[in-house]
Every structure is written in structure tokens, then in C-alpha cells.
Structure 1
Amino acid sequence: MITIYLPRNFLPERTYIIDILFGEYLGIAYEIYDYEGVDYKIVLENKSILIIRDSFFSYQAGEDYLKPENIPAKIGRGMNPFSVEDDIPIIYGNDEIAVMSEEITCGIDIFGSAFFMLTRWEEYVNKERDIHNRFPAKASAAYKNAFLERPIVNEYVEMLWNMLVYLGIEQVRKEREFEIILTHDVDHISYWKGPLRHVQVLGADILKRRNVALFLRNIVDLTRIKLGKQNDPYDTFDYIMNLSESAGIKSRFYFMSGGSTQFDNNYQVDESAALNIIKKVKERGHIIGFHPSFNAYNDPLQWEKEKERLEEALGISVKEGRQHYLRFEVPVTWNIWDSNGMEMDCTLGYPEREGFRCGTCYEYTVFDIIERKKLTIKEFPLIVMDGTLFGFQDLSPKQMEAATIKLLEITKKYKGKFVYLWHNSSFNIEHWKKHDSVYTHILTELKNG
């Protein structure tokens, strides 16, 4: 067992990040003590020592460190013989490193930098928001400093492990395997959901889009759907499950069950159409989760009410899901999920940019930076969403596929979890027809290894 000595200020925060990096990520045994020093001191079984300079917590005058001025204005890059990439972003600290046979002193504050990314500390202190009150990618340090597409916390962990190996650690790290987590937010279950919708779509084909050919195709499709000769464009559940099963993967369908805004209530979870879909998903052994409504992300009562309604319709409890519109408030939303017995949240990706919002492709137990305590809910950060690549960035199918595979390969390198969101409604309608092949190509790529 290794021994880790921590400076005496910010002990809950320091203990948390040690627990994540050494415990959850590396899976090695350790014991923690506090001491009078100002840096992290790690003593191995053979008495070799690793010193990590503290640059995040040590300069704080007190516990009130939640201030915008503590976000680094510019994040530099450093060269390091123990890093796994050509350079490494240094959020806190510097690239100085002293290597001796039995001691290493590292200037990069691995622990403070990882804490910054995993807790989403910057999202609390930086109040910039988009029109839906979401923290935007462009406001993040990762985007501003061009490392959003790098799982920087995983890079720090590999550097940490390499230093421990150099010093002769006697333990073996945890074995990991790459996994893809296919998720599908069910915002809609039918495209042609009523007479008013028929008039809106067909009228827009003529008056707005001035596309007679599309109008005629939609008339034919609607007629065939009414005659039971083809599925509604949004009824892609069997198709999705067939693809998942062919790749040996279970899909996760996150259903809505309430809401009070224009972004909600596209179906009722306890109506026959929804219940029939849910029954199929359950019978085929795929996973059902919760997709709380637009305003539920910071409303505990609304959130609980919707969860109860969903579970009543399902006849089972739900333990995972994602917030609608990726709306999230640190640490409020995590606390709502945690206090309701949820085990897995997949919300934390940016709507407008793909990549590693939390700086990691591993799941991890989260931390409440206000109450200063570790919760039980685990975050599985979202890495790629269909609408990010097409809706926000208007990429071509070829560009979408390339962007997805790039991040997929990075996640494979670190044996992480690639959390992928493709809505059931992003396949058959005119808007998506040229792009829905991206999903099938990605699944084929996974099937073929």
C-alpha cells in the first residue's frame, strides 16, 4: 500500500480527487494522512517518493476559492518524459520536473487540474450562459485552450502512473476495457402525431419550403402509415435495437414523462403508443432510463414528480438517464439525481461541441463543491451527440463520421466509455435522411472491431 500525505487545507477536496484518481481510475491501494507540508507527497512501498507541487489549493487564503479570477487566463503546454502525448496542457502548475532514482518532483498540479475538470468547478464560478441557461462550450477553458477533444484527466492519470512505475510501485493497476454506451433520448415517439401536425408539415412543404415533390412524398408516406404499411418516421425502435444487437450492444432509451414548456410533452408516457414501445424495449432486454423535462434540471419537486410518473408507467425503477436539452446546473442537478437514488447520469457533454467536457472518458463519482462532499451518483460524460455535429455545426455525413471516429479512437486508446447519443427521431425525416447513415456506419465500425 502507498501512503499519500496531503496539506491540511481543503482536505475534503484533496481527498476526493485522490479517491478518484488512485481509487476509481487506477484501482490501487493507498492510505491518506494530512501533514504540515504544502505539496502532495506520495510514498511508495519501497520508500521512493513522488512530490506533486500544489498550485491550485495552496495559494488560497481560505475556503472561499469559488472565484472567476482563479480560472487560469491562459493554459500553456509542457513537455514531460512521463506523458503519453507529445505535449500536455497544464491547467495549474508548470512543466518543471526533477527526476532522481528514488524521487520525482513534478511541477504540474495533476490533482488540482483534475479537480477543476471533473467537478465542473469553472461552470459554477463562470456565469456565462446560452439562451437556454446552459454553460456554453466556448466559455470553457478546454475550448479556449484547444484541448476539448482531449481527455486531459486521462492523460494526467497516465502520467501519474508512469511516474509511479518509474519509482518502482509494487501494485498492478486496474484493468479496463473499452465500451460504447449507446443512448437514445426519446423526445418524440411520432412525427405524424395528429391532424394539426399534418396541416403544419404539409402546409410548410408548399408555403415555406415550396417543395411540391416533398409535399407529394409526405402525402404518400402519411397514407401508407395510416394504412399500416409502414412505420411512422420516428418509430425507429426496432431498427435501433436490431443494429445494437448485431454489434453485441444494449441500447439505452431515455423516456420523458412531463414538463410545462414548448420543449416538452410531445407524448404521454402512459398512453398506449408509448407503453407499446416500452414493452418492446423491455422484452428485448434493452435499457430504459429517465429524460427529465426542460425545467426539471434545477427543480427537485418537478424532477421527482416526473420520475414517479415514469416508474408508475414502466412498472420498474429507473437508475439512469440524461437531462433534456443537456440543461445542467452545478452542483444542483447532481444533488437532485443523487437524492433520488439515481446511479448514472449521462448529461455532461456540450450541445454545440463534441468532446470531453469533463476532461475524461471514464465514469466517476461526483463531488458537490458547495457542500464539499462526495456524492454517490456517477457521471458518464457524453462525448458525441447527433445534433451537435449536424444541427449546430452543419457537418456533412463524411465530416460527421470522421469527427465521431476520431473521438471513438481516442476513447479506445484510454480504454474508456464512449457515450454516444443518437435520437430515435434522427433517421427518416427529410432533415436527417442524408445523415442517418453515419449511425449505421459507426455501429458497423464497432461490430468489425
Structure 2
Amino acid sequence: MLIYCPEPSPRLSYVIDFISQEILFEKAVVCTDAEVFRFYEGVRINYSETVFQEPNYQIYPHGLLKETGIASQPVNMGAWKELPVFFANGQGAGFDLFAAIFYLLSRYEEYLPHEKDEYGRFSHRCSLAFKEGFLDRPLVNEWLQQWEQELLQLFPAAIFRRGSYRFIPTYDIDMLYSYRGKPWWRNLGGALRSVLQGSYAQAIERWKVLRGRLPDPYDAYEWLDALHLYCRVKPIYFFLVAQRQVGWDKNIPTSYKPFQEMINYYASVYKIGLHPSWQSSVEDNPTILKEEKEWLEVVADIEIDKSRQHYIKFNLPDGYQRLLDAGIRKDYSMGYGSINGFRASVASSFYWYNLETNAPTSLRIYPFCFMDANAIFEQQLSPQQGYTELMKYYAAVKKVRGCFITIWHNIFLGTDPQFKGWRELYEIFMKEDAYWDATG
């Protein structure tokens, strides 16, 4: 594929690299020479206002990719082959496909003035995807699928790379156990609170768990191990290892030996990553993140290069830059902590583009689209409704042959009666869908 553009830019190169990763066998080349473009015998993409007689697919530039700064952009919505589009111009392809992809992947709107949610995060209500009703669609992947078909009409001999659907189940271990491993005063306080509230059964359960007569209600680990083995899937576990248990960081103390032993074991059989604490994202102290990462590396006895923010708490560009500075190279936080959907409108991994420096980085982003906590607390879905929601996103990602990344918590997959039904729906999905995808 040869792309004619008289004024190439780092932003255009970034988009072309992503497109090449998704649908091509070789990286597309950007060309500034009109004569070379005219006589090229492969797929010709004309990213300019110049008119050529030779067959080419023309995309009229919006102008965003030539810019170097950050400014509010006029977003003109339109439709293309029944798909919602923006940066519509009514010429050539009808919209600037390259600029639209860049706007979504770079999270351009998150650098502009915007409303924060109650946790200080970019509010999903400010996003173009939410406002225009495509938050539940991997729109970038859908665009590229349609674009392939249009290019094949112009260039029937073209061969495009066909991606494969993938499923990556991921787990956030915020609290290893409900009762076990907590300091005696926390268990005593919890028991007294249960008694004062009349929850005698819970107080008795706590006592039995601590005496080893009952399994801890948050202990779903052996069950998950068996499920992964049966379904032949490879999970990723993210561990919250805050050295100070304050505020939203309520993990088991890192001095608890069974906690350390579990991390070490999981690092030997699965992929694991860091779940950076709330403190690391809000305090002006970059050493907190580095200390957590170093502690996890020592206990796991491996290098840690993956992360996902606790409570999906991050803001751009500082949050991602902090990860890079700490040595993280793969992040799984791209999604909302307030609603399920595609935050970057894509079901493929991509590199973070730092708009402040106007350059791509080495941080690879793996977006998720479904999190149990969103379904339970934010959207207040029943397990039956949650299953329908899960299947909706599963079908959307599978249709575009993308990567389906889900977030689950051991808290909801254990035996706590408060969350009855969620473990069962996950097992149904894994055995009736994930299993056949892995074995088919």
C-alpha cells in the first residue's frame, strides 16, 4: 500500500503504523512524489486534495494530522456505509478516516477541558462515543473492515491480513481474602460491626473462616485455576500491593506470607502485572509506584512490565508517563470505571501517542470493554442482565476479529451471597463460549 501525502507528519505515520498492524502484511509507505504514486502498481491511497486519473482511493484531509498542538476540534458527524463517522466532509471517502482514527486512539478529547467524575477521572459522559451513541462499538475496527471491502472493489488483486479473535480474561486482586490475612484488630472490628448490625451469621462465618472450618468467601482461586485449565485460556492477574492500606487501597498487608507465596506461584504459571494503588495515582510522589513495582518483582521473581490502574484511576498524559518512567510497557487500563464500553472505540492493542510531546511512545495499550464492577455497581445490572451485556460485547469483538479483554474480581467470583449469580454466569460464558473458541 502506497499513501500519497504532500505533507507527512508524525501523527499520520502513527495512524499508518496502526492500520498496517491491523490489516496489512507489510507496513504501508507514505510517498510525497506524485509521479512515483501515479506509477505504483499496488493499492494507492490519495491523502490529499490532488486529483489523479489513475485508480486511487481518495481521503480528503481534515487537517488534524498536520497540526502539532492541542485545540478543540469541530466534529461533524455523518454516516458511511451505515457506520457513524465524524470529520465528515462529503468528499472522496466522505470523512477523514485517518484523522478520526487518530482522534480516538490518542484520546484527544481527554486532553481538552472536560468534566471529571466523582473519582477525578475523565467522565465517560464527556466522550464523543457516549454522546453520539457508539460507546458500545469497536468503531475503529468496523471502519477498517468496511475500508477493506471498498479497497478490494478498486484493487481486486489486493490481499489483506485477516486477524484472529482472541480472548484474554484478566483479574484484579484488590483484596486477596475477606477475612484471612487481616490484622487481628481489623477482624475484631469487623466482627463487632456485624454483631451490632445484627448480622450474626456473618460474624460466625468470619470466626469459622479464621479457624479454618470454612473457605474464605473471596477465595475463588482454585475454582478459577480449574476453569482456565478446562477452557484452555491464559489469564492475567493484577495484584494490588499498596504498602500502606489506606483509603481505597484495602489490600491484605504485603507482609502476609500466604499473599507472597500466591504471587510467586501465579507468576510461575500465569502472566501477572501490577495493580498500581490509588495512592500512586493521586500523590505527587513517583516513588510510590516504583516501590510497588519493585516489591512485586522481588516477590514474583520476574520483571513486571504490565499494569492496570486501581479504580481505573489515571489522567492523560501524566498517568501514562508515570508508568513509562517506572518501566511499565503494557497497560490494561483503557476503559471506563463507570460504564462498560470501548473508551478508545477499538478492540485492538495500540501504542500510546503523547499529544503533549506530539510523538508515539513505547507504552502499548490493551483496551478492555467489560468489567464486572461496572455491571454490578455502576449500571446496577442483575446477573442475568450482566450475562446479556457480556455476550453483547463478546459478539461485537468477535465480529471484528478483535481482542476481547474482560476484568473480573475474585470478590464477585467467590461464595459471598451478596454476589450470588455472577460466578455462575461467568462459568456459563467460559464453558459455552470461551471453551469452544479455544478448542475450535
TM more than 0.5: yes
Letter in 2 for 1:70: Q
> Is 2:135 the counterpart of 1:148?
yes
**Which residue of the partner structure matches residue 269 of structure 1?**
254
Letter in 1 for 2:202: N
**Aligned in 2, Cα 1:57/1:79: closer, same or farther, shift over 3 Å?**
closer
The one of 280, 305, 308 aligned to 1:322: 308
**Which residue of the partner structure matches residue 17 of structure 2?**
19
| 1:376 Cα deviation after fit | 1.5
**Which residue of the partner structure matches residue 7 of structure 2?**
8
**Which residue of the partner structure matches residue 222 of structure 1?**
206
**Which residue of the partner structure matches residue 279 of structure 1?**
264
| 1:51 Cα deviation after fit | 0.8
- Deviation digits for residues 118-142 of structure 1 (CA, Å, limit 9, x no counterpart): 0111011133111221001111110
- Deviation digits for residues 370-405 of structure 1 (CA, Å, limit 9, x no counterpart): 111111221110111111001111111110000010
The one of 369, 372, 386 aligned to 1:383: 369
8 Å Cα contact 2:115-2:126 kept in structure 1: yes
**Aligned in 2, Cα 1:115/1:93: closer, same or farther, shift over 3 Å?**
same
The one of 213, 217, 229 aligned to 1:233: 217
8 Å Cα contact 1:5-1:41 kept in structure 2: no
> Is 2:120 the counterpart of 1:133?
yes
Cα distance between partner residues in 2 of 1:325 and 1:116: 25
| 1:203 Cα deviation after fit | 4.1
Where does 1:408-427 land on structure 2 (aligned, <5 Å)? 408-427=394-413
Question: What SS does the corresponding residue of 1:439 show, helix, strand or coil?
Answer: helix
> Is 2:426 the counterpart of 1:447?
no
Question: What SS does the corresponding residue of 1:107 show, helix, strand or coil?
Answer: coil
Cα distance between partner residues in 1 of 2:167 and 2:201: 36
Question: What SS does the corresponding residue of 1:249 show, helix, strand or coil?
Answer: coil
Question: What SS does the corresponding residue of 2:409 show, helix, strand or coil?
Answer: coil
Letter in 1 for 2:379: Q
Cα distance between partner residues in 1 of 2:58 and 2:64: 15
> Would you say how many aligned residue pairs link Structure 1 and Structure 2?
418
**Which residue of the partner structure matches residue 77 of structure 2?**
76
Deviates more, 1:325-334 or 1:106-115: 325-334
**Which residue of the partner structure matches residue 89 of structure 1?**
84
Letter in 2 for 1:291: H
**Which residue of the partner structure matches residue 84 of structure 1?**
none
**Aligned in 2, Cα 1:146/1:265: closer, same or farther, shift over 3 Å?**
same
Letter in 1 for 2:3: I
| 1:239 Cα deviation after fit | 1.6
**Aligned in 2, Cα 1:377/1:169: closer, same or farther, shift over 3 Å?**
farther
Structure 1 unaligned spans of 5+: 81-86, 98-104
Letter in 1 for 2:416: I
**Aligned in 2, Cα 1:18/1:71: closer, same or farther, shift over 3 Å?**
same
Structure 2 unaligned spans of 5+: 44-53
> Is 2:57 the counterpart of 1:50?
yes
Deviates more, 1:265-274 or 1:118-127: 265-274
| 1:195 Cα deviation after fit | 3.6
**Aligned in 2, Cα 1:202/1:35: closer, same or farther, shift over 3 Å?**
farther
Q: TM-score, normalised by structure 2?
A: 0.87
| 1:306 Cα deviation after fit | 1.5
> Is 2:226 the counterpart of 1:242?
yes
| 1:310 Cα deviation after fit | 1.2
| 1:330 Cα deviation after fit | 1.5
Q: TM-score, normalised by structure 1?
A: 0.86
**Aligned in 2, Cα 1:277/1:79: closer, same or farther, shift over 3 Å?**
same
> Is 2:15 the counterpart of 1:33?
no
Question: What SS does the corresponding residue of 2:93 show, helix, strand or coil?
Answer: strand
> Is 2:103 the counterpart of 1:121?
no
8 Å Cα contact 2:194-2:200 kept in structure 1: no
8 Å Cα contact 1:321-1:344 kept in structure 2: yes
Give 1 or 2: higher strand fraction. Answer: 1
**Aligned in 2, Cα 1:276/1:259: closer, same or farther, shift over 3 Å?**
closer
8 Å Cα contact 2:281-2:314 kept in structure 1: yes
**Aligned in 2, Cα 1:279/1:310: closer, same or farther, shift over 3 Å?**
closer
| 1:34 Cα deviation after fit | 3.8
**Which residue of the partner structure matches residue 149 of structure 2?**
162
**Aligned in 2, Cα 1:403/1:386: closer, same or farther, shift over 3 Å?**
same
Cα distance between partner residues in 2 of 1:322 and 1:365: 15
Question: What SS does the corresponding residue of 2:297 show, helix, strand or coil?
Answer: helix
Deviates more, 1:195-204 or 1:245-254: 195-204
> Is 2:340 the counterpart of 1:343?
no
Question: What SS does the corresponding residue of 2:387 show, helix, strand or coil?
Answer: helix
8 Å Cα contact 2:77-2:88 kept in structure 1: no
